[in-house]
Amino acid sequence: MSLRPTRRGLLAAGGVSLLSLLGARWLLPRAWETGDVRPLSDEARAFLDGLCAGLDPARRLDAHVHLVGRGDGGTGCRLGPAFTSALHPWQSFIGACVFAGAGVDADDVDLDAHYLARLLDRHRANPAGGRLLLLAFDAVVDEHGVEDWARTLLYTPDAYVLDVAAREPDVLAAMSVHPYRTDAAERVDAAAARGAVACKWLPSAQRIDPASPRCDAFYERMAAHDLALVTHAGHESTLSAGADQQLGHPLRLRRALEHGVKVVVAHCGSLGTGPDLDRDDGSEITFLDAFLRLMDEPRWEGRLFGDLAGLAFVDRMGDPLRTMLARDDLHARLVDGSDYPMCAVDPVTSTRLLAWDELLDERARRLCEEVLASNPLAFDFAVKRSLRLARDGRAVSFGDAPFQAAGVFGG
């Protein structure tokens, strides 16, 4: 009997593989879906309370919280086809994970309201307390200032985020203004007048070149209002469909700094590599090293910061996390952020791998897992507060400063 695969056998195997992938696309996010806040054991509650000890709630801020919607109830939000369509399996899988982590059904007829309500419930049940910085997310805009909806994966308008912040005392608003808009400066003025404290960019997905002269008018207005630019740097994986990863090069942010803008580099630019823009010899630099180069330039002290969002995720928990823990000279310039709802997706943060890498002790690992089952926002806080790196005979942690950094945003 011949063991050579037949065409029919190959087609059958391919069909089974395709069905397996499609099954994973639909079933895995549902398996990871999180629900209502649950009570904690006395031990876990005492563990969380201990992690909060010494922190000033008035200075506590989660500075990286995504507000996502579909437009239900007139919010103005949009989801691009790649975010929801099976024709884009990887991007739509990520989209399904986003809603699973947020604890909402992607088919919910009132998705926007339920997403927000669950987020606020989780925040208010988190002993860490403080406030949330909710992030708007602008559309892709071309070089002529025209919105490009075909390439826009996600849209959360400023008005929606500002409305939520106006009625919720524990919420701050970050606008998202694409600098190529012809009215970008006016949009910054309008959002600042309504109380926005920051602006959110994801350059690789929004097609923004932070080093372009097109950004100058935007930068001037941001500096005039003393607003922080919270901008993703490094490789982007959540909104990756069609992304230009080199637009996330940290060294491209020098133009904003030179215009006097306060810049918070999301994820500390921790993933990916690119050309060393400070040299003309064709050499490469990791985006983490590019971020650290900027942080080590004395002229940007007080104006350049990094956020901790995602640093404990499995894709960053190696060299990026260990490097930033070791750089305790920079901890006072770091800002906590959860990257919600991605922090709520079960496999994204592995306490077992963190323990295996000797960054989390066994008791903390066990109690963090209980907290995850209760409240994903509290879990993200608990993991980062519990991290310890053995260095020079001592255990280095992130300390208190990143977890009470509201002052970076004027609070």
The CATH number given to whatever domain includes residue 76 is: 3.20.20.140
- Residue 111 CA to residue 108 CA, distance in Å, equals 5
- The helix, strand and coil proportions of the chain, stated in percent and rounded to the nearest 5, come to 50, 15, 35
Asked if residue 38 is part of any domain, the answer here is no
Asked if residue 47 is part of any domain, the answer here is no
- Given a contact cutoff of 8 angstroms between Cβ atoms, the answer to whether 48 and 40 are in contact is yes
Q: What is the pLDDT of residue 31?
A: 60
- pTM for the structure as a whole: 0.91
Q: Which amino acid is at 167?
A: R
Asked if residue 392 is part of any domain, the answer here is yes
- Residue 68 CA to residue 74 CA, distance in Å, equals 13
Asked if residue 34 is part of any domain, the answer here is no
Helix H or strand E encompassing 336: none
Q: 394 Cβ partners below 8 Å, 6+ apart?
A: none
Name residue 65's beta-bridge partners: 134, 340
- Given a contact cutoff of 8 angstroms between Cβ atoms, the answer to whether 243 and 299 are in contact is no
Q: What tokens appear for 37 in the block?
A: 């806040």
Q: What is the pLDDT of residue 237?
A: 75
- Given a contact cutoff of 8 angstroms between Cβ atoms, the answer to whether 370 and 336 are in contact is no
Per-residue pLDDT of the chain (411 residues; tens, 9 = 90+): 333 444 443 344 344 333 344 444 445 555 656 778 899 999 999 999 999 999 999 999 999 999 999 999 999 999 988 777 777 777 778 888 888 889 998 888 899 999 999 999 999 999 999 999 999 999 999 999 999 999 999 999 999 999 999 999 999 999 999 999 999 999 999 999 999 999 999 999 999 999 999 999 999 999 999 999 999 998 887 776 667 889 999 999 999 999 999 999 999 998 999 999 999 998 999 999 999 999 999 999 999 999 999 999 998 988 999 999 999 999 999 999 999 999 998 889 999 999 999 999 999 999 999 999 999 999 999 999 999 999 888 999 999 999 999 999 987
Asked if residue 21 is part of any domain, the answer here is no
DSSP letter assigned to residue 403: G
- Given a contact cutoff of 8 angstroms between Cβ atoms, the answer to whether 40 and 374 are in contact is yes
- Given a contact cutoff of 8 angstroms between Cβ atoms, the answer to whether 380 and 342 are in contact is no
Alpha carbon 244 to chain centroid, angstroms: 18
Radius of gyration of the chain (CA): 21
- Residue 243 CA to residue 341 CA, distance in Å, equals 20
| Cβ neighbours around 74 below 10 Å, total | 8
Q: What is the pLDDT of residue 235?
A: 84
Q: Compute CA distances 172 → 62, 71, 158, 380, whole Å.
A: 10, 21, 12, 19
The boundaries of the domain holding residue 141 are 59-409
Q: What tokens appear for 15 in the block?
A: 């069909």
Asked if residue 249 is part of any domain, the answer here is yes
Residue 55 φ/ψ region, left for φ over 0, alpha for ψ in the -120 to 50 degree band, beta for the rest: beta
Asked if residue 130 is part of any domain, the answer here is yes
Q: Compute CA distances 138 → 215, 241, 282, whole Å.
A: 15, 16, 34
Asked if residue 144 is part of any domain, the answer here is yes
Q: What is the pLDDT of residue 346?
A: 80
- Given a contact cutoff of 8 angstroms between Cβ atoms, the answer to whether 121 and 378 are in contact is no
CA atoms within 13 A on the CB side of 285: 23
Closest listed residue to residue 133, CA positions, set 345, 338, 344, 333: 338
Q: What is the pLDDT of residue 409?
A: 97
Torsion of Cα atoms, 205 then 283 then 257 then 288, to 10°: 70
- Residue 266 CA to residue 100 CA, distance in Å, equals 23
- Residue 135 CA to residue 158 CA, distance in Å, equals 9
Number of domains the chain contains: 1
Q: Which amino acid is at 185?
A: A
Q: What is the pLDDT of residue 24?
A: 46
Q: What tokens appear for 123 in the block?
A: 């925040």
